[in-house]
Amino acid sequence: MGADRYNVPLYRPFEKLISITVRGKQFEVPENQILLRAFQYLCPETIPFGRYCWNEECQYCRVIIRKPGSDKISQALSCKLMAEEGLEVVEMAPELQWNLSQLLQPPSAEPEVQAE
Ligand code: FES
């Protein structure tokens, strides 16, 4: 992953993955990225098709977060906020919920084995 059809890197340069939590689930994303781009790393087939302006106008990327080492919950725009190690995304705007729905699904139950 990295270059798109215009030969422009999709992600800022990174050397390692960092851990973030989205609604209680932990994920690994590239360092040095805005949070919306980190979400794109996790869901490359849905985030690019969301109705995001990517420049702080539409508000469709709004998230409620807890910064690492803080108990305080605050709002942020994921197109502006840099992802950082230990960031917790507590809640998000409906557009993000829709685009990240495959990540946020509860694990499916194991099929029951029928005794013969
Ligand atoms: S993507 Fe539009 S405000 Fe963040």
**φ and ψ of 48, to 5 deg:** -60, -20
Instruction: Compute the distance from residue 55 Cα to the ligand 1 centre, in Å.
Output: 5
Total-model pTM: 0.86
Architecture per CATH, 17-102: Roll (3.10)
pLDDT at 112: 66
Domain ranges of the chain: 17-102
Contacts of 35 (CB under 8 A, 6+ apart): 20, 61, 63, 76, 78, 79, 81, 82, 83, 87, 89
The finding on whether 75 has its CB within 6 A of some atom of ligand 1 is no
Q: Which atom of ligand 1 is nearest to the CA of 56?
A: 3
Share of the chain above pLDDT 90, in %: 80
Q: Is the CB of 54 under 6 A from ligand 1?
A: yes
Predicted local confidence at residue 5, as pLDDT: 66
Q: What is the pLDDT of residues 54-111, one digit of tens each?
A: 999 999 999 999 999 999 999 999 999 999 999 999 999 999 999 999 998 876 666 6
CB of 29 sitting under 6 A from ligand 1: no
Burial class (CB in 10 A: 0-12, 13-18, 19+), 15: exposed
